[in-house]
Amino acid sequence: MDDPLVRISGLRVAFDGVPVLRGVDLAVGAGEAVGVVGESGCGKSVTWLAALGLLPGKARVTGSVVLDGQELLGAPMPVLDRVRGGQIAMIFQDPASSLNPVHRIGRQVGEALRLHRGMDGAAARAETRRLLDQVGIPDAGNRMDAYPHELSGGQNQRVMIAMALAGRPRLLVADEPTTALDVTIQAQILDLLATLRAETGMALVLISHDLGVVAETCDRVAVMYAGLVIEEVSSARLFDAPAHPYTQGLLSALPPLDGLPRQHLAAIPGSVPEPRALPPGCAFGPRCPRHASLCDEQVPPLVDVAPGQRAACRILGADVPPAFGLAAA
């Protein structure tokens, strides 16, 4: 990508000397939808919290996060205040704990409008109403006087999205936005995010553990494992031709919707390594069926596999069979 909206390069984060991110490179183009997938502890959320300066003080953050030519890491507070919410907005898994329970939702959306767009009074109220309407809150005019506990989980997530939209961000980072919601509500929220992206032209980063959710919503997917991006691939190729053994393993661990029922899944053996006790070389090595001695020599870099696909694996190539028993796609 020549001129991305956000370019993260060599991002490293350590807590008390324990590395959590080990050099993440990721770019998001204007208007693009990028999915970030991985299991708990892989660093998918920390990447964006670090990029926005939202990690606690004990975190050691190095590398570079450039938004529109401006470096964000170590940027002065006034700059970050304009970026957070104004350029890049973020929503989280549990909307109920992100909203203030003692303030009406209209006031909370209005606060974002005042901070980022200097709106007040009747203008702010009208805009709040429009935003709540846009995110599909029924009867927005009256509902803006409701408290979060009077709304369902799905409605509260819509309010969070309205707050995020208030600053007219160019990038929305949605961190597991549907994980705490029921499946039919998850479908509503994903539909809403797609509609809003089409209406506003903002870019979207969707962080999720669910490959299906990400592939359906995003153009491109970054798969993370143990603090690194190990594969970057278009959503179309993700399911047809995953390159990294970990990506292949995640896909084959997904129960199929057809074929013989109750057959064994090709599960990845073992579990995610502890950040303080990472294996040498490729962190996936001990769980990998393709593991060879050269894998332990160094952390494999991301290399081009195909147009629009990069993977961090030393043992790649057309003659290499899939690492896990992938159903012929």
Partner 1 sequence: MTALLEAEGLVRRYTMRRGLLGRQVELRAVDGVSLRLERGETLGLVGESGCGKSTTGRLVLGLEAPDEGTVRFDGAPVPPVGSAAWRAQRARMQMVFQDPLGALDRRLTIGTQIAEPFEIHGMAGAQDRVAGLLRDVGLREDFAARYPHELSGGQRQRAVLARALATDPALLVCDEPISALDVSVQAQVMNLLIDLQAERRLTMLFISHDLRAVRQVSHRVAVMYLGRIVEEGEPDAVLRDPAHPYAQALVSAIPHPGRTARRQVLQGDPPNPAARPPGCAFHPRCPMAVGLCRSVVPELKPRASDGRRVACHVAQGEAMGEAA
- In the complex, which residues of this chain contact partner 1 (CB under 8 A)? 39-40, 152, 154-155, 182-188, 190-191, 209-213, 215-216, 235-236, 238-239, 249-250, 252-258, 261-262, 264-269, 271-272
Q: Which is nearer to partner 1, 265 or 306 (CB)?
A: 265
Smaller CB separation from partner 1, 127 or 216: 216
Nearer to partner 1, 260 or 318 (CB): 260
Task: Report the nearest approach of partner 1 to the CB of residue 235 (Å).
Answer: 7
> Closest separation between CB of residue 211 and partner 1, Å?
7
Tabulate helix, strand, coil % of the chain (nearest 5). Answer: 35, 20, 45
> φ and ψ at 86, to 5 degrees?
-85, -40
Q: Least distance from C-beta 286 to partner 1, angstroms?
A: 13
In whole angstroms, the minimum distance from the beta carbon of 83 to partner 1 comes to: 31
Cβ distance to partner 1 smaller for residue 109 or 211:
211
Radius of gyration over alpha carbons of the chain, in Å?
A: 21
Least separation in angstroms between residue 209's CB and partner 1 is: 6
Q: Which two tokens stand for residue 220?
A: 């491109």
Residues with Cβ < 8 Å from 140, sequence gap 6 or more?
129, 130, 132, 133
b/e per residue 52-90 (b: at least 16 CB within 10 A): bbebeeebebebebbbeeeebbebeeeebeebbbbbbbb
Q: Which is nearer to partner 1, 53 or 227 (CB)?
A: 227
- In the complex with partner 1, the residue whose CB is nearer, 172 or 288, is 288
Residue type, 89: A
Cβ pair 318, 305 in contact under 8 A: no
- Contact (CB, 8 A) for 232 and 254: no
Q: Considering the complex, what minimum distance in angstroms separates the CB of residue 212 from partner 1?
A: 3
Structure token pair of residue 281: 């070389």
Tell me the CB-side half-sphere exposure of residue 275, using CA atoms within 13 A: 19
The strands making up 18-28's β-sheet, listed across from edge to edge, are 18-28, 6-15, 59-67, 70-71
Q: Which is nearer to partner 1, 40 or 293 (CB)?
A: 40
Instruction: State the nearest-atom distance from the C-beta of 279 to partner 1, in Å.
Output: 15
